[in-house]
């Protein structure tokens, strides 16, 4: 009897551990350019001032990510199916936005991953060659069916990067760098800094279309492992809030190590990657340089694979619904769309060769500009399923207002209407 009880407990524990999947995968995708680069740069350039924008971006995007998980557990289907049920217009709008976003986001994170890889090597290699290596390796792993292995490994990668970041931040906070006597604090509260702020929020915690991708993963998770809704929401909330809180740790690292020291902050190309890794090694110790670089590389490589699989699988499901009205042909199109996403991403890298900073900024800004469309699509689907509580309704409407307001402000500045 005791043995049966122990077996039952063990099975529950295993099921709980298995339930952690889509939420952690989203966190893996989130801790990319927005965290490793933009958050740290924000702290290095402006101190604590932009912490409020990081908090607001994570706060106001939360409902739309949550809707994806709630919809999947309510219907056992992804938001893509919800779009198709509501209207072919919704489905086509999402499909077009997702194809474009997939190319931009996958290309950007692959280039950042290649830059980190280049920093680790003892000899110089052409960034395009490194990018081909990264994307071909990611494609090969996905096509060979080894994504599940990396899925499990990504949980430990996130834990390793989280621990390393928290330790580095605490050590740096205990003995922060001395402020230069002639340092003059810069203010981000002007139109000249708007592009940086929009880029910072664009991938914070991740591009908003990842709410749909997460719902695709969740629907598959439900079919395979049968987690309960409570387990699913726990997975989602842990992944979301870990990535949100970690963004503030990256900001703090920039504040403690670089802000006000007089050190020039690299904002273009791959130069900041070297500064980023130096932040860890200057606080943890020189011995950790290659270890931290390797962890950062694994994190970004996981992000590349997550993007390629997520966008590829989601676009495949969209195409299946467009052509057949069902998701039955999804697996038939997955390999094709993963390949298209990877090839399109590399094509974008080729165009932006030697301009990693420009590509990352372009990807982050385009994600923020398109965010209101994804937010409205998610809101309308969850509303049609009568899953909105009054509080969540006003929360979501506040989020849409926030995204639309900043999006319009940026577009007005971009068009030169306001200066």
pLDDT in tens, 276-306: 787 778 777 887 788 778 877 877 888 898 8
Q: Is residue 314 part of a domain?
A: yes
| pLDDT tens-digit readout, 396-419 | 999 999 999 999 999 999 888 987
CA-CA-CA-CA dihedral for 276, 279, 282, 284, to nearest 10: -110
Burial (Cβ within 10 Å: 0-12, 13-18, ≥19) of residue 93: middle
**How much is the pLDDT for 18?**
64
**How much is the pLDDT for 7?**
43
Q: How far is residue 128's CA from residue 235's CA, in Å, rounded to a whole number?
A: 37
Least confident of 155-159, 205-209, 264-268: 264-268
**How much is the pLDDT for 363?**
84
Please give the structure tokens belonging to residue 182.
């002639």
Q: How far is residue 222's CA from residue 244's CA, in Å, rounded to a whole number?
A: 25
Q: How far is residue 384's CA from residue 223's CA, in Å, rounded to a whole number?
A: 24
pLDDT of 11 > 50? The answer is no
Burial (Cβ within 10 Å: 0-12, 13-18, ≥19) of residue 241: middle
Number of domain units in the chain = 1
Q: Is residue 198 part of a domain?
A: yes
Q: Is residue 332 part of a domain?
A: yes
Burial (Cβ within 10 Å: 0-12, 13-18, ≥19) of residue 387: middle
Q: Which of 276, 112, 283, 127 is nearest to 203 (CA)?
A: 112
Q: Is residue 8 part of a domain?
A: no
Q: Which of 334, 327, 328 is nearest to 313 (CA)?
A: 334
| pLDDT tens-digit readout, 307-322 | 999 999 999 999 999 9
**How much is the pLDDT for 418?**
87
Residue 367's domain comprises: 19-414
Query: Cis before residue 75, ω within 30 degrees of 0?
Result: no
Contact 130, 117 (CB under 8 A): yes
Q: Which of 301, 350, 282 is nearest to 36 (CA)?
A: 301
pLDDT of 120 > 80? The answer is yes
Q: Is residue 319 part of a domain?
A: yes
Q: Is residue 12 part of a domain?
A: no
Q: Is residue 235 part of a domain?
A: yes
Q: Is residue 1 part of a domain?
A: no
Query: The CATH number of the domain where 385 resides is what?
Result: 1.20.1740.10
| pLDDT tens-digit readout, 327-356 | 888 888 999 999 999 999 999 888 876 676
pLDDT of 203 > 50? The answer is yes
> pLDDT-derived band of residue 267, with 50, 70 and 90 as boundaries?
low
pLDDT of 155 > 60? The answer is yes
pLDDT of 4 > 50? The answer is no
**How much is the pLDDT for 225?**
79
């Amino acid at each position: 009897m005791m043995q049966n009880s122990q077996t039952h407990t063990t099975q529950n524990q295993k099921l709980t551990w298995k339930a952690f999947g889509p939420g952690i995968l989203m966190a893996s995708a989130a801790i990319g350019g927005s965290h490793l680069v933009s958050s740290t740069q924000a702290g290095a350039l402006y101190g604590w001032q932009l912490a409020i924008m990081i908090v607001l971006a994570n706060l106001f995007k939360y409902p739309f990510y949550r809707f994806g998980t709630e919809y999947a557990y309510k219907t056992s289907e992804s938001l893509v199916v919800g779009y198709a049920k509501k209207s072919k217009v919704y489905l086509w709008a999402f499909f077009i936005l997702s194809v474009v976003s997939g190319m931009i986001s996958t290309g950007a994170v692959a280039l950042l991953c290649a830059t980190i890889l280049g920093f680790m090597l003892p000899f110089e290699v052409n960034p395009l060659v490194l990018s081909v290596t990264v994307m071909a390796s990611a494609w090969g792993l996905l096509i060979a069916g080894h994504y599940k292995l990396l899925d499990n490994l990504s949980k430990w990668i996130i834990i390793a990067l989280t621990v390393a970041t928290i330790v580095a931040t605490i050590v740096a906070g205990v003995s922060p760098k001395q402020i230069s006597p002639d340092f003059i604090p810069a203010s981000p509260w002007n139109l000249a800094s708007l592009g940086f702020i929009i880029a910072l929020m664009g991938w914070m915690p991740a591009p908003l279309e990842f709410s749909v991708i997460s719902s695709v993963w969740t629907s598959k998770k439900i079919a395979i492992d049968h987690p309960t809704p409570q387990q699913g929401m726990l997975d989602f909330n842990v992944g979301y809030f870990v990535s949100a809180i970690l963004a503030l740790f990256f900001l703090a690292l920039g504040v403690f190590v670089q802000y006000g020291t007089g050190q020039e902050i690299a904002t273009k190309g791959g130069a900041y990657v070297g500064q980023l890794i130096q932040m860890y090694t200057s606080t943890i110790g020189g011995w950790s340089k290659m270890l931290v670089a390797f962890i950062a590389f694994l994190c970004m490589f996981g992000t590349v694979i997550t993007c390629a699989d997520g966008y590829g699988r989601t676009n495949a499901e969209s195409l299946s619904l467009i052509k057949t009205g069902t998701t039955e042909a999804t697996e038939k199109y997955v390999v094709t769309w993963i390949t298209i996403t990877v090839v399109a991403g590399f094509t974008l890298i080729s165009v932006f060769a030697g301009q990693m900073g420009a590509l990352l900024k372009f990807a982050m800004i385009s994600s923020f500009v398109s965010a209101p469309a994804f937010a409205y699509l998610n809101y309308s689907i969850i509303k049609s399923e009568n899953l909105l509580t009054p509080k969540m309704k006003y929360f979501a409407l506040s989020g849409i207002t926030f995204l639309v307001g900043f999006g319009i402000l940026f577009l007005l500045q971009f068009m030169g209407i306001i200066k």
